């Protein structure tokens, strides 16, 4: 807390306040608000606030921006810590703020490196800012297991820029939105950002040309406007093109069971029989469906302990139906005695058919494993949650199969990783989750938006079953066809189509985006070296 206050006071009040506000409004561009102009305003402000600063000063502004960015964007962490982690309101607030401050260090480093790369050149700043932003989104997706949340590219889902998603994916969309924000920020009067603060010394030594400091000409302004709207115009044109087509085969009927088991009751051993009966009764009332999907850890027990129950459920399945459900699996291990996996299990109505298993690869820090376990476990209930010692599944697992369909399985957090959904060609995507940990917050709706984007990127239908919402059926355009209400037991039924063909993003991933970013970085470095020599 002292560090945060120090950063607030290290700059004069106005830029510090603007940095916090700019970061705080960013989540408005994502679900559930979907006010995408907020991204343009937020990103443009960060660029302008950082322009005339030294790298160290820019790092402070970046930290404050990140504090607002994550403080509002991942505020749902408070629910997990307070409601299910056993922390009181004061401790939960402190830990949420501490978590946000830790994540804000990404923006601190991002702003520092941006200034180191661009120097005081306005031209280099305009070129470097979008590239550095996207590279840090990628860095954030894998560093320390990764936190691939709040990518600005997701704001493209509800506007014409969605046409670019099947072509360049979420990182590419992030790059285009950031370019638009940078272009629009050039239209803001420069006097708006003339602060009487620690930037004064940097401003006095600014080497920018007089033309860049004067009021821009009408022609220049038109050029910036054109640059800002070009991605949206081309995105609209791309929306008119179908990268994939429906197969002539019949549609697939699906049934998603949203159990709505209270998180406080789910892991109590005495409630297991009632939970099993709850899902068994749901099966008795199901209509005919080719694929039946239960949520993540629908039955909170190991597979080997409930085999008789699973056999009963198998017998209940309609002919030619496949049930896919989240369960726990314990596997003997020489070193640890056994390993626990968060799994998806697929079983068919055909007697004697072996189970199919998928084990979760990407685990949630503190929820499914505890970093620095020897030091943290036992401090508070959050670090000792049920089943928080999972092992990671193999990254090269085969697809699941259901009635002749190949199925890409993703469990909860995994849907946030852009490349997982395109690991192997599949007919449809399924994802299961238990967003009960986040209560009635914006977290589950952000999670759903990511799932929609995965369907759009790879051009496949996606079905999503959750414990208490939102369960949904999503088409290949990322559009919600059917969805459930939150905090309600519901069986969602519908039809999905097998799509044929592949999107450019499925074929090439983010490679075009990374090549462009590398080319821009190399051009800036080369230009600065030549400047230094002159």
Alpha carbon distance 344, 293 (integer Å): 10
How is the beta sheet containing 480-483 ordered, strand by strand? Answer: 400-402, 405-411, 428-433, 462-466, 472-474, 480-483
Cβ atoms of 379 and 327 within 8 Å: the answer is: no
Cβ atoms of 139 and 78 within 8 Å: the answer is: no
Structure tokens at 516: 């462009």
Cβ atoms of 460 and 500 within 8 Å: the answer is: no
CB neighbourhood size of 488 (10 A):
10
Q: Point out the catalytic residue in the list 29, 108, 173, 296.
A: 296
38 CB-near residues (< 8 Å, 6+ apart):
25, 26, 27, 28, 29
Cβ atoms of 142 and 106 within 8 Å: the answer is: no
User: Which DSSP letter does residue 257 get?
Assistant: E
Q: Point out the catalytic residue in the list 29, 108, 173, 412.
A: 412
Structure tokens at 318: 């309609």
Alpha carbon distance 71, 78 (integer Å): 10
Cβ atoms of 182 and 43 within 8 Å: the answer is: yes
Question: In terms of DSSP bridges, do strands 490-496 and 245-246 run parallel, antiparallel, or are they unpaired?
Answer: unpaired
Q: Is 360 a catalytic residue?
A: yes
291 CB-near residues (< 8 Å, 6+ apart):
252, 253, 254, 255, 321, 322, 324, 402, 403, 405, 407, 430, 463
Alpha carbon distance 210, 451 (integer Å): 48
Structure tokens at 206: 């600014």
How far, CA to CA in Å, does 188 sit from each of 20, 43, 114, 428? 19, 13, 20, 46
Alpha carbon distance 226, 234 (integer Å): 12
**Could you report how far apart the first and last alpha carbons of the chain are, in Å?**
46
Q: Is 296 a catalytic residue?
A: yes
Alpha carbon distance 49, 43 (integer Å): 10
Alpha carbon distance 401, 394 (integer Å): 18
Q: Is 495 a catalytic residue?
A: no
Cβ atoms of 454 and 462 within 8 Å: the answer is: yes
Q: Point out the catalytic residue in the list 360, 477, 497, 498.
A: 360
Alpha carbon distance 135, 510 (integer Å): 11
Q: Closest Cα partner for 296 from 368, 358, 344, 363? A: 344
Known catalytic residues are 296, 360, 412
């Amino acid at each position: 807390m002292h560090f945060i206050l120090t950063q607030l006071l290290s700059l004069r009040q106005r830029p510090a306040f603007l940095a916090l506000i700019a970061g705080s409004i960013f989540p408005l561009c994502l679900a559930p608000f979907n006010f995408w102009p907020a991204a343009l305003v937020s990103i443009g402000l960060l660029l302008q606030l950082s322009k005339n600063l030294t790298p160290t000063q820019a790092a402070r502004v970046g930290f404050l921006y990140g504090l607002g960015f994550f403080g509002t964007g991942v505020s749902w962490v408070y629910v997990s810590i307070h409601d299910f982690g056993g922390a009181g309101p004061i401790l939960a607030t402190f830990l949420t703020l501490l978590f946000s401050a830790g994540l804000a260090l990404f923006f601190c480093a991002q702003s520092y490196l941006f200034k180191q790369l661009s120097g005081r050149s306005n031209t280099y700043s305009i070129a470097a800012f979008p590239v550095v932003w996207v590279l840090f989104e990628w860095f954030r997706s894998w560093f320390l297991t990764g936190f691939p949340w709040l990518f600005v590219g997701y704001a493209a889902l509800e506007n014409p820029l969605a046409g670019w998603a099947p072509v360049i994916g979420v990182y590419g969309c992030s790059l285009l939105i950031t370019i638009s924000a940078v272009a629009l920020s050039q239209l803001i009067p420069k006097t708006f950002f003339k602060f009487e603060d620690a930037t004064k010394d940097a401003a006095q030594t600014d080497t920018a040309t007089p033309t860049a400091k004067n009021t821009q000409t009408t022609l220049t302004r038109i050029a910036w406007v054109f640059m800002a709207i070009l991605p949206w115009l081309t995105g609209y044109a791309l929306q008119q093109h179908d990268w994939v087509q429906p197969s002539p085969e019949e549609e697939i009927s699906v049934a998603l069971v949203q159990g709505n088991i209270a998180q406080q009751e789910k892991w109590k051993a005495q409630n297991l029989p009632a939970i099993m009966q709850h899902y068994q009764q749901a099966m008795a009332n199901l209509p005919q469906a080719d694929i039946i999907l239960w949520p993540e850890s629908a039955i909170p027990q190991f597979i080997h302990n409930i085999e008789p129950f699973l056999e009963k459920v198998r017998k209940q399945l309609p002919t030619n139906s496949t049930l896919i459900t989240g369960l726990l699996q314990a596997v003997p291990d020489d070193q640890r005695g056994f390993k626990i996996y968060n799994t998806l299990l697929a079983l068919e109505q055909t007697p004697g058919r072996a189970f199919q298993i998928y084990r979760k690869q990407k685990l949630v820090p503190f929820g499914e494993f505890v970093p620095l376990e020897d030091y943290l476990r036992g401090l508070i209930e959050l670090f000792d949650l049920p089943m928080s010692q999972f092992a990671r599944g193999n990254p090269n697992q085969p697809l699941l199969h259901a009635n002749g369909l190949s199925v890409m399985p993703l469990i909860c957090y995994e849907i946030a990783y852009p490349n997982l959904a395109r690991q192997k060609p599949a007919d449809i995507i399924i994802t299961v989750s238990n967003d009960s940990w986040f209560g009635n917050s914006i977290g589950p709706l952000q999670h759903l938006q990511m799932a929609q984007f995965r369907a759009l990127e790879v051009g496949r239908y996606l079905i999503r079953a959750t414990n208490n919402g939102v369960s949904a059926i999503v088409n290949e355009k990322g559009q919600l066809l059917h969805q459930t209400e939150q905090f309600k037991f519901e069986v969602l039924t519908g039809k999905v189509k097998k799509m044929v063909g592949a999107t450019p993003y499925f074929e090439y991933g983010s490679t075009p985006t990374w090549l462009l970013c590398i080319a821009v970085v190399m051009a800036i470095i080369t230009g600065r070296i030549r400047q230094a020599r002159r």
